[in-house]
């Protein structure tokens, strides 16, 4: 078995015991990249020279007795929204095709401090404004979308190139590609981690977090990324728990909310069945299933878009005025619509978000976590990114995927997507666990319980350049 095929914690144990070196692990990752990249185009930029240099430094540090922890020597993919010093950061847009940051984003700097190795920058839907990432392919079926906007990260992890890749999540952009590519994806609580040095889509909805092969990987990386940063006024000054500690505590006695509306509407039967199976697994492990009604459900998506669109237009105001031709038609149109939104509509959406957040807090009085499908269905074709429902209506993939993921952004609650099943056609499906504010350890415990009682989590897609 190749090193890239092993779980992160097994590779970390081998590195710590000096059975393998970070250089060997990095070479394995780079070899896998060469095998898969022609089929997937998951990366905007690859950094083999930097990776091998970082790996040699890590190797010497460990040899000298300076082992930093389980992320030391582990390869990392970074979504191309995150600044990386000396490495081009394009946001997959012609607007930034020559931009080379001088300093690392806060999250990247923290992971470098933990000893991680940069393999490259992964593609995003342009400036994270979409859910399909047209540049990249799905590792389970390269002619299908990997989701977005962190599609390159999902593809890279799903194909086994890296154990972990960074994503961002404004309407589901970590969890959507995680579900479609068969990986774990963690969107933390709003304010848990700094977004400094990450290009914004919508500052009051943006979150940063990891996509990973296993649940414990996300726990390790999210712990390292988290913390207060005075430069990001959204971050909250509170202690950061070790999110991997007690991850195997089980779910006995936990009250699992099962929605009776919203997450049951306009959904592929196989996606609904995957969520029902996950609920049955948790019940069999001693959890109590509690039916809940999602409050103010009809207002969630209008609120998401009414906040996101003008905030995105404000962020890109100068670009939209001076170089609109450098945007893709899709993103430029969305920005122009956002710029035309009335200030009163934006303010009313902010007020409505407050009401939704309060109603969800009340819902959580009777449950510990909420369990729901991550998405309405599997990956669509890249050439035809629409879902056609039994009644004949067609829904754009971005709109369809965001429906189930956006509630966690509007509320700011932590949400973990975990692989749950594969369709009859061999495409991944996920379920998400939504928790109370700053309850990442709890949703990770639930996700870990599902992982340990399923053979779905941790699979690597068999894609290769030859197969494609």
Angle formed by the axes of helices 8-16 and 22-40, to 10°? 150
pLDDT tier at 466 (50, 70, 90 boundaries)?
low
- The C-alpha torsion from 111 through 114 and 117 to 122, rounded to 10°, is -20
Is 60 exceeded by the pLDDT of residue 468?
no
Once rounded to an integer, what is the mean pLDDT over residues 328-340?
Answer: 98
Percent of the chain having pLDDT more than 70?
A: 99
Do residues 253 and 442 make contact, with C-beta atoms less than 8 angstroms apart? Answer: no
Is 60 exceeded by the pLDDT of residue 429?
yes
For the question of residue 173 being annotated catalytic, the response is: yes
What is residue 11's predicted lDDT score, i.e. its pLDDT?
Answer: 98
For the question of residue 93 being annotated catalytic, the response is: no
List CB contacts of 253: < 8 A, sequence separation 6 or more: 286, 287, 288
pLDDT tier at 465 (50, 70, 90 boundaries)?
confident
Helix (H) or strand (E) holding 290: strand 288-292
Identify the bridge partners of residue 256 per DSSP, sorted by sequence position. Answer: 289, 369
What is residue 393's predicted lDDT score, i.e. its pLDDT?
Answer: 93
What is residue 298's predicted lDDT score, i.e. its pLDDT?
Answer: 98
The residue annotated as part of the active site, out of 21, 28, 29, 79, is: 79
The residue annotated as part of the active site, out of 29, 91, 92, 149, is: 149
By the 10 Å C-beta count (0-12 exposed, 13-18 middle, 19+ buried), 295 is classed as middle
Is 60 exceeded by the pLDDT of residue 137?
yes
Do residues 193 and 167 make contact, with C-beta atoms less than 8 angstroms apart? Answer: no
The domains of the chain, with CATH numbers, are 3-229+237-298+346-452 (3.90.1300.10)
**CA 412 to CA 51: how far, in whole Å?**
34
Once rounded to an integer, what is the mean pLDDT over residues 283-308?
Answer: 98
Task: Give the mean pLDDT of the chain.
Answer: 97
The residue annotated as part of the active site, out of 29, 107, 173, 212, is: 173
Is 80 exceeded by the pLDDT of residue 150?
yes
pLDDT tens digits for range 44-71: 999 999 999 999 999 999 999 999 999 9
Is 80 exceeded by the pLDDT of residue 36?
yes
CB atoms within 10 A of CB 307: 26
The sheet with strand 164-169 has its strands ordered as 43-46, 117-122, 75-79, 164-169, 207-212, 184-187, 415-422, 428-434, 369-373, 255-259, 288-292
List CB contacts of 84: < 8 A, sequence separation 6 or more: 78, 101, 104, 105, 108, 118, 121
For the question of residue 79 being annotated catalytic, the response is: yes
**CA 240 to CA 228: how far, in whole Å?**
9
Once rounded to an integer, what is the mean pLDDT over residues 156-167?
Answer: 98
Question: Whose CA is closest to 48, among 152, 122, 119?
Answer: 119
List CB contacts of 191: < 8 A, sequence separation 6 or more: 234, 235, 236, 412
SS3 for 37-104, per residue?
A: HHHHCCEEEECHHHHHHHHHHHHHHHHCCCCCCCCCCCEEEEECCECECCECCCCCCHHHCCCCCCCC
Do residues 39 and 112 make contact, with C-beta atoms less than 8 angstroms apart? Answer: no
């Amino acid at each position: 078995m190749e090193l890239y095929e092993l779980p992160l914690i097994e590779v970390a144990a081998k590195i710590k015991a000096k059975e393998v070196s970070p250089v060997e692990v990095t070479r394995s990752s780079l070899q896998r990249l060469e095998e898969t990249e022609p089929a997937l185009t998951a990366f905007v930029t690859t950094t083999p020279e930097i990776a091998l240099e970082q790996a040699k430094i890590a190797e010497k540090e460990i040899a000298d007795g300076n082992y930093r922890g389980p992320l030391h020597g582990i390869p990392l993919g970074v979504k191309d929204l995150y600044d990386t010093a000396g490495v081009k950061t394009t946001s997959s847009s012609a607007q930034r095709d020559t931009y080379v940051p001088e300093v690392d984003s806060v999250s990247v700097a923290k992971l470098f401090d933990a000893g991680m190795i940069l393999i490259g920058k992964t593609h995003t839907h342009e400036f994270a404004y979409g859910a399909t990432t047209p540049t990249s392919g799905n590792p389970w079926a390269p002619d299908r979308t990997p989701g977005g906007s962190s599609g390159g990260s999902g593809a890279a992890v799903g194909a086994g190139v890296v154990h972990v890749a960074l994503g961002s999540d404004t309407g589901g952009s970590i969890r959507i590609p995680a579900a479609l590519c068969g990986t774990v994806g963690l969107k933390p609580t709003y304010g848990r981690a700094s977004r400094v040095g990450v290009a914004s889509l919508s500052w009051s909805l943006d979150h940063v977090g990891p996509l990973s092969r296993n649940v414990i990987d996300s726990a390790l990386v999210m712990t390292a990324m988290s913390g207060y940063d005075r430069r990001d006024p959204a971050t909250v000054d509170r202690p950061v728990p070790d999110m991997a500690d007690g991850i195997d505590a089980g779910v006995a006695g936990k009250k699992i909310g099962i929605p009776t509306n919203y997450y049951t509407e306009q959904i592929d039967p196989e996606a609904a069945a995957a969520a029902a199976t996950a609920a049955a697994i948790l019940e069999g492990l001693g959890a109590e299933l509690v039916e809940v009604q999602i409050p103010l459900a009809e207002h969630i998506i209008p609120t998401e878009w009414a906040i996101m669109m003008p905030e995105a237009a404000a962020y890109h105001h100068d670009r939209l005025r001076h170089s609109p031709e450098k945007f893709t038609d899709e993103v430029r149109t969305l920005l122009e619509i956002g710029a035309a939104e009335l200030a009163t509509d934006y303010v009313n959406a902010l007020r409505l978000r407050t009401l939704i957040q309060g109603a969800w807090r009340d819902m959580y009085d009777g449950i510990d976590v909420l369990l729901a499908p991550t998405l309405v269905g599997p990956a669509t074709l890249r050439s035809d990114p629409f879902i056609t429902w039994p009644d004949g209506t067609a829904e754009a993939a971005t709109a369809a995927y965001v429906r189930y993921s956006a509630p966690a952004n509007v509320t700011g609650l932590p949400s973990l997507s975990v692989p749950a099943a594969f369709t009859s056609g061999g495409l991944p499906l996920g379920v998400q666990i939504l928790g109370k504010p700053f309850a990442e350890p709890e949703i990770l415990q639930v996700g870990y319980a599902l992982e340990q009682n399923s053979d779905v989590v941790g699979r690597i897609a068999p894609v290769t350049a030859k197969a494609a």
